[in-house]
Structure 1
Amino acid sequence: MHILFVADPLETFKIYKDSTFAMMRSAQAKGHRISACEPQDMHWISGEKVTARVRDILLTGNESAWFDETQSRRAELASFDAIVMRKDPPFDSEYFYSTHLLEQAEREGAKVYNKPASLRDHPEKLAVMEFAQYTPPTLVTRSAQDIRDFHAKHQDIILKPLDGMGGMGIFRVGPDGMNLGSIIETLNLGGAQSVMVQKYLPEIVKGDKRVLIIGGQPVPYCLARIPQGNEVRGNLAAGGKGVAQPLEAEDRAIAEQVGAKLAPRGLLLIGLDVIGHSITEINVTSPTCFQEIEQQAGFKVADMFVEALEKAVAGAA
């Protein structure tokens, strides 16, 4: 196959931990060709097909200069066997527009993973609404009073913006309500912006587990991201410590239920955030933790992904 990765600039990759790099490495090892572009490289003119300025690359195995660019060219997106959308959040207007360009490419014959329409339909905080039976008590609102009422009921809560990533903008408010008013003002901007509020789960001390689902099947290991020091966030970007561990039976059962429902919608790769046995978020844009799991547990997540991609493309042919 010839695979196009739509991603952040190659020069910004931290290849020792980057999951997109792991996908590329596995794909090349299996004999596939690799190209890359950024969302802003995509281009459409009426009467023509969606194209992009793409970079054909070869991975070198050298950490300091990890790829060779063999050619830079403009190509129709539909000319690739598979397109893997791996642009990191935020899911802003430009990301939204990119999904529409990719969806037009689909109409022209491209095979895109994750499916652009499903990326739009499953925002990473709000996607949990479909699986409320597995979530902690959760509120989504613009109302400051609703948030105060939720705090009065649950006493210890987590507040976060709907468009955050990597733990950005997450606050914990305990029973004393310290700074609740100023946190509400910061997050909901006087009622202009929606906020997600969840009951604090003390199981976070054992880690915010990243459970990966590939082709509808749970990866047999997860990465528990454990908060350090006085930090409430387990996100690796916020300083959490990642510990790979076998997937517990209850988490596997939950992941199988989620995968069975979401994979048929074109979501080849899903990342659940699980605290205790409760889903707090469902990540579909660019789930990570491939390399941490492989380095610690020896399970090659990227190989599982590429094999699922091969199967998906063959099934769509």
Structure 2
Amino acid sequence: MTHSTVAHGEIHRVAVVGSGYMGGGIAQVLALSGATVVLADVDGERAAAALNRLIEQADRFESSGLFDAGSGEVLRQRLTAANSVEDAVASADYVTEAVFETREIKREALTRISAAAPEQAIIATNTSAIPIGELAEAVERPERFLGVHWMNPAPFIPGVELIAATQTSAHTIETVEAFIRAAGKVTARVADSPGFVANRLQFALYREAVKVVEEGLATPAEIDLVVSSTFGFRLALFGPFAIGDMAGLDVYAAAYATLAASLGDRLDAPASLTRLVDEGHLGLKSGKGFLDIDEADVPQLLSYREKAYHALSSLRRQLGPPPGL
């Protein structure tokens, strides 16, 4: 992971409330990208312990090539621990809450944060599934509040979801988007709905995987092997709409018909997919699908796909199987 000394627009001083695995990773990313970061937790002792853990971890990551040289020293200079939530947020430009994923604990933390932070400070929650509009009720001046959903482990997963509540100002989301992108992350603005996009999709897949086990079709280990070496392999490089358009939406519609005949209407073809197929929009083979990919880009896209799959296959062979799995 790289680090920089460049400031990020209006955000220079950051407080991270909740110094566990998720909050600690966020703190590392933001400190290494140029911000001054203060950690807070239930008390100063826990925050100080987290600070030591994060610096020691950065030293290990640095020696194993996962962080750039000098990362540990950067964290020693830019990352500190506070004795309380109030002390941590008192001069912050941006506060991210990353406490335990329950409504009560998050609302309590956000109430304390918004009461103690400067009026102009932007406040974010790292909730995985709780609607942002609901949590905004605990925040004074909720126009400065939004969801910023990082993925675990934060230093290495590139994607971050940005979720505005109805009260969130355009300035707030634009400022945070620029800040998170400057930290090297890939941002996507998604609507405020339980689970947002990443977890809604992830948990839908998990539910279906558990049902496959319950039906005796495969073991958990076999399912993991199938997913990681087939469509999950492709998902490392492309999203579901790009994969579908490349495969052919008529192929997808036919597969849904077979699935629905055996498994019921929960696996019916989506209406918008059926409509596109009926209109002759089949993906790359017809020039348009869910995505509108220019015909001139198709040869380069397919060439990229083959090179990318080859490179990913080579990486998997180099890394070998995950220990214990």
- More relative contact order in 1 or in 2 (CA 8 Å, sep 6+)? 1
Quick check: which one's helix share is greater? 2
TM range, smaller chain: 0.3 to 0.5
Normalised by the length of structure 1, the TM-score is 0.32
User: TM-score, with normalisation over the residues of structure 2?
Assistant: 0.32
| More strand per residue | 1
Larger radius of gyration: 2
